[in-house]
Amino acid sequence: MTPWHANTVAELSAALHEGSVSSVELTAVYLARIAQHQGTLNAFISVTQEAALLEAERADARLRAGERGALIGVPIAHKDIFCTAGQKTTCGSRMLADFVSPYDATVVERLRAAGAVMLGKTNMDEFAMGSSTETSYFGPVRNPWDAARVPGGSSGGSAAAVAARLAPAATATDTGGSIRQPAALCGVTGLKPTYGRVSRFGMVAFASSLDQGGLLTISAEDAALLLAAMAGFDERDSTSVELPVPDYTASLAQPLKGLKIGLLHEFFDQGLDPEIEQRIRAALEVLRLEGASLKEVSLPNLPLSVPTYYVVAPAECSSNLARFDGVRYGYRCERPRDLLDLYQRTRGEGFGAEVKRRIMVGAYVLSAGYYDAYYLKAQRVRALISADFARAFHEVDVLIGPTTPTAAFELGAKTGDPVTMYLNDIYTIGANLAGLPAISVPCGFVQGLPVGMQIIGPHFSEPRLLNVAHRYQCESDWHRRAPPGFT
């Protein structure tokens, strides 16, 4: 018999409903695995053991009472960017190292209501700024496939936790690729929904116009189950969209016959590792055999994504992070001499280097005399990129390409050169700028390291993306492979 931790959410849910396992038992299994591997992976910032077992007991009671629901009793992990009432929410920063939120994020609240059991809070790049989870104040996360390598970021803790089967699923956030890139590097499924599909209330803001909550799972089917619970309008988030939430599982198995896939010309450029290209093309062949047609499309403005993003995101972050001033909560420097000293030392000591770099870039691009040349121009380019996508979706149903240009790199390999690090998001940023949903699914390995295929769709096409990903996963087993030592 396969161990419990090898199962998907859907499988665990079935077992819980059958009564072949209890939520308390499952929770104990995962808590034990977290404890066992925390030393090597550092995937968690906090483990909420007691609360988890209490929640599991409540879930078991609900099941015993005959309640039905895909997530009742299923243990999950939350990225430490989501506020959790009564539990620490650090955002990977010294600034919030001891911060306990007085309220639950909408995502946390909804998953809690759906019966999911919170195991703990996962490690992440500080304030979600990074692509390797090396900027965390709580130390780097290691890739379960190779502990010398990074798991990607910023949701590296969530991705490593799911890859190592320390949790069957985890929430995450994606501002420039922070769900999809670690999903690709850790060999798990990662869905970034349409901007506005999932409430941002209670998600510590990095770049408000780009941030979107999503999830990391073993399978696309699991992603559908979690998204169903997370998605939907929230009156507390003005940018959440008032559209009904479709039944994401209903269309999962739909045949792909007639599906028009666009191959993103700009994604198959010279920066792409040729072996990764091979894996992607092999995956595309699987989809073609399923009945999809392939067509190359070009998004001429897409290569401007990275510079555009690195104006818009820092601009918003410089403003969003201004509230961390040592006055009301969070880190405060010792014995400030005066107000300016309080601000300077609190922020100087409380934020790490990458966060400070982005705040400074952001303040610069918004400042008088530079605003037009940087921020405004970036917004114009952003509109052009969105228009490119819109045009492409007149011709094709989904766009497919690699999630990342390379497989997981070694710890420290890019920390000295921020621009090289930023280029790791070259294929993922476009979807954020245009607010589009995108999913990364495992599609093979290069030298023992996982490779991710990215599927991007029009706004609110999550059912389609999940359908394509699910059909692919029916024809492949890459997503079921766990790293050696974690099977």
Partner 1 sequence: MEWETVIGLEIHAQLLTRSKIFSGAATAYGAPPNAQASLIDLAYPGVLPVLNAEAVRMAVKFGLAINARVMRRSVFARKNYFYPDLPKGYQISQYELPIVCGGAVCILLEDGSEKRIGVTRAHLEEDAGKSLHEAIPGLTGVDLNRAGTPLIEIVSDPDMRSAREAVAYLKKMHTLVRYLRICDGNMQEGSFRCDANVSVRPRGAEKLGTRAEIKNLNSFRFVEKAIQFEVARQIELLEAGGAVAQETRLYDADRGETRAMRSKEQANDYRYFPDPDLLPVELDEPTIDAIAASLPELPDQKAQRFAAEYGLSVYDAGVLTASNELADYYEQVVLHLAGHAKLAANTVMGELAGLLNRDGLEVGESRVDAAGLALLLQRIVDDTISGKLAKEVLEAMWQERASADAIIEARGLRQITDESAIERAIDAVMSAHAGQLADYRAGKDKLFGFFVGQVMKATGGKANPARLNELLRKKLGG
Q: Nearest approach, Cβ of 50 to partner 1 (angstroms)?
A: 24
Q: How many residues in the shown chain lie near partner 1 by CB under 8 A?
A: 44
Q: Tokens in use for 221?
A: 């089917």
Q: Nearest approach, Cβ of 237 to partner 1 (angstroms)?
A: 5
Contact map string, positions 307 to 346, toward partner 1, x by CB under 8 A:
--------xx-xx-xxx-x-xxxx--------x---x---
- Among the residue ranges 22-30, 82-90, 246-254, 270-278, the one whose residues contact partner 1 (CB under 8 A): 82-90
- Among the residue ranges 37-45, 58-66, 199-207, 412-420, the one whose residues contact partner 1 (CB under 8 A): 199-207
Per-residue burial over 437-449, b if 16 or more Cβ lie within 10 Å, else e, is bbbbbbbbbbeeb
Q: Name beta bridge partners: 121.
A: 46, 78
Instruction: Considering the candidates 154, 199, 305, 461, report the single residue annotated as catalytic.
Output: 154
Q: What is the identity of the amino acid at 371?
A: Y
- Residue 335 burial (CB count, 10 A): 8
Query: Taking a C-beta distance cutoff of 8 angstroms, is the pair 175, 206 a contact?
Result: yes
Among 44, 138, 145, 201, binds partner 1 (CB under 8 A): 201
Q: What is the identity of the amino acid at 82?
A: F
Catalytic status, residue 79:
yes
Query: Taking a C-beta distance cutoff of 8 angstroms, is the pair 181, 152 a contact?
Result: yes
42 vs 6: CA distance, rounded Å: 20
Least Cα distance to 313 among 138, 90, 130 occurs for: 130
Among 25, 237, 269, 290, binds partner 1 (CB under 8 A): 237
- Among the residue ranges 232-240, 396-404, 457-465, 474-482, the one whose residues contact partner 1 (CB under 8 A): 232-240
Q: What is the identity of the amino acid at 398?
A: V
Scan residues 18-57 and list those touching partner 1 (CB under 8 A).
Answer: none
Verify binding: residue 208, partner 1, rule CB under 8 A.
yes
Instruction: Considering the candidates 79, 121, 192, 414, report the single residue annotated as catalytic.
Output: 79
Verify binding: residue 103, partner 1, rule CB under 8 A.
yes
* Count, residues in the chain: 487
Catalytic status, residue 154:
yes
Among 38, 49, 209, 415, binds partner 1 (CB under 8 A): 209
Q: Tokens in use for 172?
A: 């995450």
Q: Would you give the distance in Å from CA 185 to the centre of its chain?
A: 12
Residues with Cβ within 8 Å of residue 394, at least 6 apart in sequence: none
Residue whose CB is less far from partner 1, 257 or 328: 328
Element (DSSP H or E) covering residue 30: helix 23-41
Classify residue 346 by burial, with Cβ atoms within 10 Å: 0-12, 13-18, 19+: buried
Residue whose CB is less far from partner 1, 199 or 219: 199
Q: Nearest approach, Cβ of 216 to partner 1 (angstroms)?
A: 20
- Among the residue ranges 136-144, 258-266, 366-374, 438-446, the one whose residues contact partner 1 (CB under 8 A): 366-374
Q: Nearest approach, Cβ of 413 to partner 1 (angstroms)?
A: 31
Verify binding: residue 238, partner 1, rule CB under 8 A.
yes
Verify binding: residue 349, partner 1, rule CB under 8 A.
no
Residue whose CB is less far from partner 1, 366 or 398: 366
3 state DSSP class of 417: coil
- Residue 21 burial (CB count, 10 A): 16
Residue whose CB is less far from partner 1, 162 or 170: 170
Q: Tokens in use for 449?
A: 């390291």
Q: First-to-last CA distance in the chain?
A: 13
Verify binding: residue 390, partner 1, rule CB under 8 A.
no
Scan residues 104-133 and list those touching partner 1 (CB under 8 A).
Answer: 105
98 vs 290: CA distance, rounded Å: 51
Q: Would you give the distance in Å from CA 473 to the centre of its chain?
A: 19
Among 66, 102, 258, 274, binds partner 1 (CB under 8 A): 102
479 vs 11: CA distance, rounded Å: 14
Catalytic status, residue 178:
yes
Verify binding: residue 363, partner 1, rule CB under 8 A.
yes
- Among the residue ranges 94-102, 259-267, 403-411, 463-471, the one whose residues contact partner 1 (CB under 8 A): 94-102
323 vs 344: CA distance, rounded Å: 13
Residue whose CB is less far from partner 1, 364 or 445: 364
- DSSP secondary structure string for all residues of 43-87: -EEEE-HHHHHHHHHHHHHHHHTT---TTTT-EEEEETTB--TTS
Among 22, 87, 101, 476, binds partner 1 (CB under 8 A): 101
Among 9, 76, 83, 297, binds partner 1 (CB under 8 A): 83
Which residues bind to partner 1, rule: CB under 8 A? 82-83, 89, 91, 96, 99, 101-103, 105, 200-205, 207-209, 235-239, 315-316, 318-319, 321-323, 325, 327-330, 339, 343, 363, 366-368, 371, 375
Q: Provide the annotated active-site residues.
A: 79, 154, 178
